[in-house]
Amino acid sequence: MPRTIERQFPAWITRPITLRDSWSKARALVEELSLHTVCQEALCPNLGPCWSSGNVSFMILGSRCTRRCGFCAVETARPDPVDDSEPFRLSQAVKRLQLRHAVITSPARDDLADEGAGHFARCVAEILKRSPRTRVEVLTPDFHARRELIEQVIRSGPAVYNHNLETVKRLTPRVRPQGRYERSLQVLRLAGELGRGAVKMKSGLMVGLGEEPEEVRQALTDLREAGCEVVTIGQYLRPTPRHLPVHGFVTPDRFDRYRDWARELGFFHVQSGPYVRSSYHAYEALQPGDLNADRS
């Protein structure tokens, strides 16, 4: 008998959503400029509140991925060719939404010689050309930890370099079959070295996939040793029955403990809570204050 845990969401996983006018404005703009968003492609539970506050995280390089992570709703299929007009259209969207903090991510593009790094760099450059006061956060695939590709992205001028570790070492082969735990740490080490302190290093973990608390502490320690300064920790939610089952719903108290562990390890900014995702309230990371303003 399959585990029925998903059918019994705990109280802290359900919440009312109020959509404001700016939600439809954001949606209309994304459609007008034919852009993809990770909010839509990954079926993010925060789309309503984020778009209502004008925060949209863009997905460049198409909506098809060359990998198949067990938690991810992004379609695995032969990707579309790179669209050279996308950097310009993206920069228009950022300007018209007046984003202070623009997050851009992409599916893995193992099919491209530069794995998409050049297109990332062009997108960052176009955004900064039209919106010089906007901070850009790149959430990249692992680029097989190729130094020259990470350098190309870093040189384009992002304020935050994000690459998600996603889960603890023991679960990585099942959760990210084409990913590698050590390789992802190496990506953050290289980006930190190449960024020379001018770029914040960030990563994210999902919990509720069967990890033990001590494994989460070890993953946080590994991220900190790799030079990571900002971390997000959120509850895994199964996007479809084809994806990995939720092993357990982590309680708000345990999210607080993870937050405290991350603080003790010296992370500059921590977001830890059931609804936290890697680009959720991303702008807060560069405005230190309450280290965990969000536990909704």
3-class DSSP state for residue 137? strand
Tokens 């939720």 appear where? 246
Residue placing its CB nearer to ligand SF4 in the complex, 107 or 208: 107
CB neighbour list of residue 274: distance below 8 Å, 6 or more residues apart: 12, 13, 234, 235, 249, 250, 252, 255
HSE (CB half, 13 Å, CA atoms) of 119? 27
Cβ 142 to ligand SF4, closest distance in Å?
A: 8
Phi-psi region at 157: left, alpha or beta (left = phi > 0; alpha = psi -120 to 50):
left
Cβ 243 to ligand SF4, closest distance in Å?
A: 10
Judged by the rule CB under 6 A, the positions of this chain that interact with ligand SF4 are 65, 67-69, 72, 74, 107-108, 141
Cβ 107 to ligand SF4, closest distance in Å?
A: 4
CA terminus-to-terminus distance, the chain: 33
Cβ 224 to ligand SF4, closest distance in Å?
A: 23
Residue placing its CB nearer to ligand SF4 in the complex, 109 or 259: 109
Residue placing its CB nearer to ligand SF4 in the complex, 74 or 219: 74
> 37 with 58: CB under 8 angstroms?
yes
Cβ 4 to ligand SF4, closest distance in Å?
A: 26
Residue placing its CB nearer to ligand SF4 in the complex, 32 or 75: 75
Tokens at 204, concatenated: 């994210």
Strands (E), the chain: 36-37, 57-59, 64-65, 75-76, 101-105, 135-139, 160-162, 200-207, 230-235, 269-272
- According to DSSP, residue 34 is labeled T
Cβ 114 to ligand SF4, closest distance in Å?
A: 16
Residue placing its CB nearer to ligand SF4 in the complex, 59 or 128: 59
For the chain, what is the largest distance between any 2 Cα atoms, rounded to a whole number of angstroms?
56
Cβ 174 to ligand SF4, closest distance in Å?
A: 13
Q: Which of 280, 240, 210, 207 is nearest to 6 (CA)?
A: 240
Q: Which of 58, 115, 1 is nearest to 279 (CA)?
A: 58
d(CA 219, CA 158): 25
Cβ 240 to ligand SF4, closest distance in Å?
A: 13
Strands (E), 77-219: 101-105, 135-139, 160-162, 200-207
Residue placing its CB nearer to ligand SF4 in the complex, 74 or 231: 74
